[in-house]
């Protein structure tokens, strides 16, 4: 394998690109076996392949028997512990995080270990830009949302939520106060979402003068929640009409509202 060390940089990069398989519809990487094998060839290929292999981290807790490409429950626990203890550096390349707790038979010791480590684990993702988070209050303990959001607030690289998906009953203690200056905020919620998270969402948006992408996916024929959000923004001291928004300055915020009538009413 020593011959690989003498390859020109452009040839090495071409070899890496050749092993990357993309989904023709989404552009996402869908096959990693070639990259995983290439990473073992030499330290040089390890360094070239790692940014592609670890650019996205999926912490989707599943039972080991589930047919799922994401890590199983124990594997997710191992990743979180490794991040929290800084015993690995491969996730230094991670820019996207998918987080979903799911229906898990958490033992008390497992739950405590997870909650103790999740803050330090996310803080270790020093180049994280976006998060896709399925927030389920039935499974997610209060401490989870508090620790995750507090950790995201520590990351200077964090740009926002690609999708923050609420169930119908977010925790009363949900707070976005640690977050500000996001450029992306995409969220979705069910038809029976209570009102208590709306002031938090409004306050967060008012702290994001450089916002360039804003999206609401509302599972209802009535958008009273949107009305409430913008009413709350108008009440704030730093309301949007008093802020020079970067997105507006550069041609307008990309704003979309999706009404999914196929969801239960």
pLDDT tens-digit readout, 92-122: 889 999 998 765 555 667 677 788 899 999 9
User: Do residues 134 and 173 share a domain?
Assistant: yes
Residue at token pair 């926002």? 160
Give the mean model confidence (pLDDT) for residues 171-178. 81
User: Do residues 59 and 45 share a domain?
Assistant: no
User: Do residues 173 and 73 share a domain?
Assistant: yes
Euclidean distance between CA atoms 83 and 216, whole angstroms: 32
User: Do residues 40 and 87 share a domain?
Assistant: no
Give pLDDT, residue 157: 97
Question: For residue 18, what are the domain limits?
Answer: 7-53
Number of domains, the chain = 2
List pLDDT tens digits, range 205-244.
889 888 888 887 766 555 555 666 667 666 665 555 444 4
User: Do residues 24 and 62 share a domain?
Assistant: no
Would the CA dihedral through 81, 55, 216, 254 be positive or negative?
positive
Q: Is position 2 within any domain?
A: no
User: Do residues 126 and 179 share a domain?
Assistant: yes
Of the two residues 90 and 140, the one the predictor is more confident about is 90
Most confident of 44-53, 150-159, 202-211: 150-159
- Please, where are the H alpha helices in 95-244? 108-123, 142-152, 198-206, 224-235
Q: Is position 1 within any domain?
A: no
Give the mean model confidence (pLDDT) for residues 39-66. 67
Which one, of 217, 226, 209, lies nearest residue 256 by Cα?
A: 217
User: Do residues 48 and 65 share a domain?
Assistant: no
Residue at token pair 């309301």? 239
Q: Is position 141 within any domain?
A: yes
Q: Is position 209 within any domain?
A: yes
Give pLDDT, residue 143: 81
Q: Is position 264 within any domain?
A: no
User: Do residues 213 and 112 share a domain?
Assistant: yes
Question: pLDDT confidence of 178, banded at 50, 70, 90?
Answer: very high
22, 38, 53: which is the final residue of a domain?
53
User: Do residues 189 and 214 share a domain?
Assistant: yes
**pLDDT beyond 80 at 249:** no
Mean pLDDT of the chain: 72
List pLDDT tens digits, range 252-265.
556 565 544 444 44
DSSP string for residues in 85-130: TT---GGGG--EEEEE--S----HHHHHHHHHHHHHHHHT-TT--E
Q: Is position 26 within any domain?
A: yes
User: Do residues 11 and 47 share a domain?
Assistant: yes
User: Do residues 121 and 223 share a domain?
Assistant: yes
Q: Is position 179 within any domain?
A: yes
User: Do residues 108 and 120 share a domain?
Assistant: yes
| 19-28, 72-81, 109-118: the lowest-pLDDT one | 19-28
């Amino acid at each position: 394998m020593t011959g690989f060390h003498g390859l020109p940089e452009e040839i090495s990069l071409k070899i890496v690109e050749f092993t990357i398989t993309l989904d023709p519809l989404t552009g996402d990487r869908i096959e990693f076996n070639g990259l995983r094998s290439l990473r073992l060839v030499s330290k040089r290929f390890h360094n070239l392949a790692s940014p592609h292999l670890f650019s996205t981290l999926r912490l989707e807790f599943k039972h080991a028997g589930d047919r799922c490409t994401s890590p199983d429950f124990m594997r997710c626990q191992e990743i979180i512990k490794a991040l929290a203890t800084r015993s690995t550096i491969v996730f230094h390349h991670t820019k996207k995080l998918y987080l979903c707790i799911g229906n898990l038979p958490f033992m008390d010791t497992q739950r405590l270990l997870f909650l103790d480590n999740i803050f330090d684990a996310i803080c270790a993702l020093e180049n994280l830009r976006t998060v896709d988070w399925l927030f389920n209050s039935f499974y997610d303990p209060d401490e989870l949302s508090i620790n995750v959001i507090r950790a995201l607030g520590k990351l200077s690289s964090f740009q926002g939520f690609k999708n923050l998906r609420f169930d119908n009953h977010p925790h009363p203690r949900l707070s976005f106060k640690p977050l500000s200056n996001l450029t992306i905020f995409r969220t979705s919620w069910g038809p029976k979402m209570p009102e208590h998270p709306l002031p938090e969402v409004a306050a967060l948006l008012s702290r994001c003068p450089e916002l360039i992408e804003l999206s609401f996916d509302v599972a209802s024929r009535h958008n009273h929640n949107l009305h409430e959000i913008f009413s709350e923004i108008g009440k704030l001291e730093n309301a949007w009409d008093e802020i020079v928004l970067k997105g507006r300055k550069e041609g307008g915020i990309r704003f979309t509202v999706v009404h999914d009538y196929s969801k239960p009413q």
